[in-house]
Structure 1
Amino acid sequence: MERQIYLENKAWQEGLALMMEKLAGRCIPKNELVDVRLSLHRITGTIIRAKRSSPHFAASAMDGYAIRAKDTHGLSEREPRWLELGVQAIQVDTGDPIPEGMDAVVMLEDVLELGERGILLQAPVVPWNNVRPVGEDIVEGEVLLPIHHRIRPQDQGALLAAGVLKVEVRCKPKVGILPTGDEIRPPEALLQVGDIVDSNSTVLASLVEEWGGSATIWPITPDQPKQLEEAILKMAASQDILVIIAGSSQGRDDYTSQMIEKHGTLYLHGVAIKPGKPVALGEVQGKPTVGIPGYPVSSFLTAHLFLEP
Structure 2
Amino acid sequence: MLKFEYATIEDRKWLQPILAASGKMGSENAFGTLFIWNESYHSRICRQDGYVLLSSGEHFHTYNFPYVADPANAGSLRDALQLLIDDAAEKGFRFQMWGMTEKEVARMEEAMPGCFEFSIDRDGADYIYNSSDLIELAGRKYHGKRNHVSKFNRQYQWEYEDVTVDTLDACREVSCEWCRQNGCDPENGLDKEVRALRKAFAHFDELKLSGGLIRIEGKPVAYTIGEEINPQVFLLHFEKALSGYDGLYAAINNEFARRNLSGYQYINREEDLGLEGLRKAKLSYHPAIILQKYRAVLKGTES
Same fold? TM cut 0.5: no
- Whose radius of gyration is greater, 1 or 2? 1
Q: TM-score, normalised by structure 2?
A: 0.26
Q: TM-score, normalised by structure 1?
A: 0.25
Higher helix share: 2
